[in-house]
Every structure is written in structure tokens, then in C-alpha cells.
Chains A and B, each alone.
Chain A
Amino acid sequence: MMKKLLLCGVVAVGLAACGGGDSSTTDAPSAGEKAAVTSGRDQIKIVGSSTVYPFSTTVAENFGRSTSFKTPIVESTGSGGGLKLFCSGVGANHPDMTNASRRIKASEIKRCADNGINDIIEVKVGYDGIVLANSRKSDQFNITLRELYLALAKDIPNGNGGTKPNDHQRWNEINPALPDTKIEILGPPPTSGTRDAFVELAMEGGCQTFDWIAAMEKTDKDTYKAICHSFREDDNFIEAGENDNLIVQKLNANPNALGIFGFGFLDQNADSVQGTVINDVVPTFENISDGSYPVSRSLFFYVKKDNIGVVPGIEEFLNEFTSERASGQDGYLAEKGLIPMKPEEHAARKASVLALETVSLD
């Protein structure tokens, strides 16, 4: 009997819930729900790049613990997705900040302006080195950008002013001094900002060492880019996703392979993988910071000026992010693998951020 009663109870609850459940799946959200959606927010909301995510979350956590504000929410959406959400409107319904592993584009600024977001504050977080690395089980690689380009490009110069499909299968085919192993490089997919930066800094750098290609940059920009920016698509280059931790694991499993990822991962996994020396520069903290390591990029985040005062804590968060103890030389972000800006640049950037200067692209 008890069981029966219990079961009937469950049915009753179920029936009662059906009405509510029904309407929320098929109809527009009820008034109550809408009100909850549009009411003010007391928590900063950040979206954007997965590269800046580790730094952003670290600051968010420290901010949450050391102030009376709530811990900001950080969502990893990718730079493009983040900027789309960021630019979709003003008010508490839209994120206050977005992280980007590249600079905001004119088209995105326009999109923001179309939706009433005119004042955007740009905060430079610091630098991120992009490194090549292989397992410590094999020898450290030492290559030049030119060799890297010859290993990775889709088409390479054929020696008499034209190009041919890349036929390099082993490293020693490029330079006899390099090891006699198959060229196997794991790297990010074309959708990632890491890939974008790598193409621009490493591939283009290597490609420009061929004078006739470099000359082409002025005369025939399209061909120049086609030659310099295209990755080979056979099994010598493996798109391995942005789950860099898995790349590190895979490098351990395959001592012949090289991987392309952010410096932070190299730093954290220094006991199992080693950075490749590029143009005789070892990817170390100091070398990236002083600019001698050739492959590094800037990281940013963007803040809606109009949301200051609407969502509590934004100014304080900016203060924390730009403070010496966070993004300074010995700050806690440096420990997470961020390459901080040099003290003068840091100070200048900090001053302009705290003065809430807005971004303009020229």
C-alpha cells in the first residue's frame, strides 16, 4: 500500500511538472524566466580565446578570493566566438569582456558599433611564445625558420624560380645535418589562433629567406601568400587539435614527432619535452620576453566600457589584471607560462587601461 501511495505521489509530481515543462520546451519562456534573464548581474562574465583562458581564470580566481566581489565566470569559446558574443549587445545579458589571442579586427569593431558598443578598452595581457618541441627521449632539434618552412609548406621553391609540391619526407632531405627520421609535426588546426600566429611568424619568416619570394610580397601579394601560408596536407603534418596536453602525451608516445604549442605547455612539461632551437635561439622565458626568439605573439582582452558601473567590479578586475603582482615581471601569471611585457611597456599599458582609454585601430 505504501508503495502504491509513493508511486501515485510520483505521478502527481510528474503531472504537475508536465505543464511547466511543456511550456518551457515548446513556448517562449514565461514572464518569470524572462525577468530572471534580464535582471542585473553581480558577477563579471568573460568569454573568448582558449589561449588566454588559463591566465584569465587565474586572475579571476585571485580577484574573487582577495576582494568581496564574486569570482568572475570565464568561458572558453575561442577568440572569434568570444568576440561575436561580446559584440552582440550592451547590458547585463552580454559578456563584459572577451579574451583574444589576436587583435580585434576592424570588421569586429564595426559589428560592435552596430550593436551600440562604441567604447572598447583594449588590455594587452602579455606575450605567448609558440614553440616546437619533441620528446626528451630523442635529441634536441636545432633548425632554422627556412628549414622549418621547407618541412611544413605545401609548395616549396623548385630551385629555378618556380614552386613544386613539397616532397620532403625525412628531415635529412632538407639538411643533411638534420636527423634521418620521418618529418612528423603535430600542430593546431586552421581554426586556431595559434596556427594563425605560427603561419605569420614562422612560416612567413622562413619563406622570406628566399629572396625571389620576399620580392614577390610587393608585386604579387596573393601568390606570395599562397606560397608562404599554406601548410602541407599529407601525413607529415598532423592537425592535433588545441588540446595541447594531449599533444604533449602524444609526443611522449612518438619520440620522432615534433609538436607546435604555446610556451606555457613547454614550461609545465619541461621534464618530458624539450623546445626546439630555432635560428639558434632556445625558447626560454628570457629569450621570448626580450624578443630574440622569433615566434611569439601578443595576447589581449577587450572590455566594454559601458558595462563599468552596470556590473560591479570591472574596474577593480582591471586593476588586478594590470597589477605588478599579476602581469608584472614576477607576477603570478608568469608562473602560469605568460611572458610578461617589459616593465616600461607594462607601465604604459597599465596607465592607459586604468584611464579607460578606448581602442582604435590604425
Chain B
Amino acid sequence: MSQSRDLTLRRANRRSQLREYAIQGLLIACSFVAIFTTIGIVASLAFEAIRFFGKIPITEFLFSLEWSPQTAIRADQVGASGKFGVLPLLSGTLLISFIAMSVATPLGLLSAVYLAEFAKPKTRNMIKPLLELLAGIPTVVYGFFAALVVAPIIRGMGAGAGFEISSESALAAGSVMGIMLVPFISSLSDDVINAVPQALRDASYGMGATHTETVTKVVLPAATPGIIGSLLLAVSRAIGETMIVVMAAGLAANLTANPFEAVTTMTVQIVTLLTGDQEFDSAKTLAAFAIALFLLVLTLGLNIVALRTVDKYKKKYA
């Protein structure tokens, strides 16, 4: 009698154990999707990029100073080789990102400091969602606005001041992108600032420092590594941004640091190369995948450095 009861219990036990395993298996399978996605991304980019490097040597891609995919649309045209140096694209991308960051960093950091340290809870609760809304606006909207409103204004201001600004200046695309990044920086820095232990602040107040002195001399230095991490994340977002630059930046691969000139970016080239009228499977379309691979490596590198910095910082005060 008791034996059969044992058996049922054991059976039930085993069944529930099986169920536990099954569920755990399902959970693991779900988490593997992330890994498969990464593999998929790398594989799909690498496959086409390798075909590209079969046509254009990788050294030329990485070190040549000229980007001019003027390969002929038809085989009998001249310039069938084209120039595929990624550096002008990289410089254009970095120039626009730099402009964006010089707009976003002061705005984002000051907003974060104000919200974290000075604002009354009521103000904070009102402002924060508003800033988050700024992050939620689709980039196609920013692009439309940059091309149709901001670029002419910047041009007009340049004309008023007596110098010529290209209507696709890096400045227009960059500054609009900067506004887009503000909430990104402010919310990340907000977290970082909040993580600075209260004890540090109390010590500072105890020494007779004002609130501002505490913030600038104690809290911000303590939070610097974390803030740098959040800035790096913002840079990686700026580098990968597509629609704003597609609509507002140019296509000319100028190797320049002049923000009033038109530059092009890696993402813009990917879109143009893949939607143009040229023959498919030419070096041109394959180049898009090589650029994408380069872009991926770049953003991932930045991201890894950024996350390390933030992690270290968090551990310091944990």
C-alpha cells in the first residue's frame, strides 16, 4: 500500500522534474536566439564582404584615401575599377558624430545633472518623460526636419555672416542628430549620477561646500568613468544612425574636417549602394556589405569599451 503511494509520488516527482527540465530547456533555447542573431549578422555580412575583398584588396579598402564608386553601370564604360577606400566615409561619419556629440554632450550632461541633483521631484517627473519623448521620435522625422528646416536656416545664417555653407553641410545633419542624442546621454548619465553614494555628498556638505560645489567637485569627478561610458554609447549610436544622414547629409566623399562642407557617411553609402541602378553583384553592391561589416566592428568595439568602463565604475561603488 505504502509502496504504491511511494511509486505515484515518485512518478509525480519525476513528471514534475521532467517538466522543470523541459521548461529550462525552452528558456535556454530562447536565450540562444541572441547568439544565433549575432552569428547570422556576422555570417551574412562576412559572406558578401569576402566576395568583395576577392575583387578589391582589403588593404585598399582600409587604407586608400579615395572613395569613388564610379564603376561603370555597364561593362563597356570607363572607370570599371572605382576607388573603394573607406577612410573618407569614416572621416565623414566621425565628423558628423563629433558635431552631434558637441551638441549633445553639454545639453545632455547639464540636463542630467539638473534633473538628478537640483530639480524638485515634481519638475523631474514632468521633464523626464518629455525628454524621453525626444528619444522616441522616429529618425525619419528628424531627417525630414533637418533637410527641410534646419539646413536652410544654417545656410541662411552662413550667407548672412558672409561665407558659403553647403546646403548639405555636416553641421545640419550633425546638430539635429545631437538633439536626438540628448535624452540618450541624459538618462544614462542620470543613472550614473544617482549611483554616486550619498555618503560622498554628505561628506562634502559637512565640509561646508555648496550644492553646486558638491556636484562639480565631488559628484561629477566620482561619476566621470560612468559618464564617459555613456558618452561612448551615444557615439556608437551616432555612427550607426541612418535616416537623418540619408535625408540631410550629402553623398560626396570629402576627406575634410570642415563642418560647413558636405560629407557622406557609411550608412548613407550602404543605402545608396543597395538601392541604386547599377548591376547587382558588382563590386559596388558588395561594397555595401564590407562597409556594414566595418561599421559593425566599429560600433561593437566602442560598445565593449563603454560597457567595460561603466561596469568597472559600478563595481567601484557597489
Contact = CB atoms under 8 A, between A and B. Distances in A.
Touch A–B, Cβ below 8 Å:
yes
Interface of A: 18-19, 22, 25-26, 49-50, 76-81, 83-84, 100-102, 105, 107-108, 182, 186, 189-193, 196, 222, 225-226, 229-231, 233-235, 237-241, 243, 246, 249-250, 252-254, 257
B279 A250 contact: no
Contact of A105 (B32, B74, B274): B74
B167 A250 contact: yes
Contact of B33 (A26, A189, A231): A26
Given A225-B78, A253-B167, A191 B36 contact: no
13 contacts: A18-B30, A25-B37, A83-B280, A100-B277, A107-B75, A190-B71, A191-B278, A225-B79, A231-B70, A239-B250, A240-B251, A241-B250, A252-B152
A186 B151 CA distance: 15
Most interface-central of A25, A26, A190, A238 (chain B CB within 10 A): A190
Given A239-B251, A250-B151, A189 B272 contact: yes
Contacts of A240: 168, 250-251
Nearest to A27: B36
Could you say which of B36, B164, B280, B281 has the most chain A C-beta atoms within 10 Å of its C-beta? B280
Contacts of A257: 167
A225 B77 contact: yes
Nearest to B69: A190
5 shortest interchain CB distances as A-B pairs = A191-B276, A225-B78, A239-B251, A193-B277, A84-B280
Among A18, A243, A249, A250, chain B packs the most CB atoms within 10 A around the CB of A250
Interface in B167-195: 167-168
Given A81-B280, A102-B277, A192-B277, A239 B252 contact: yes
Nearest to B167: A250
B29 A22 contact: yes
Contacts of B254: 234-235
A190 B80 CA distance: 12
B166 interface: yes
A250 B250 CA distance: 11
Contact of B279 (A19, A76, A105): A105
B139 interface: no
Interface of B: 26, 29-30, 32-33, 36-37, 68-71, 73-75, 77-79, 147-148, 151-152, 155-156, 164, 166-168, 246-247, 250-254, 261-262, 264, 272-282, 284-285
Q: Is the interface of B mostly helix, strand, loop or mixed?
A: loop
B124 to A, nearest CB: 27
A18 B282 CA distance: 40
Contacts of A250: 147, 151, 167-168
Given A80-B279, A102-B277, A191 B147 contact: no
Contacts of B282: 80
B243 to A, nearest CB: 12
Which of A25, A79, A83, A238 has the most chain B CB atoms inside 10 A of its CB? A238
B141 to A, nearest CB: 15
B280 A229 contact: no
Given A80-B279, A243-B247, A191 B262 contact: no
B280 A80 contact: yes
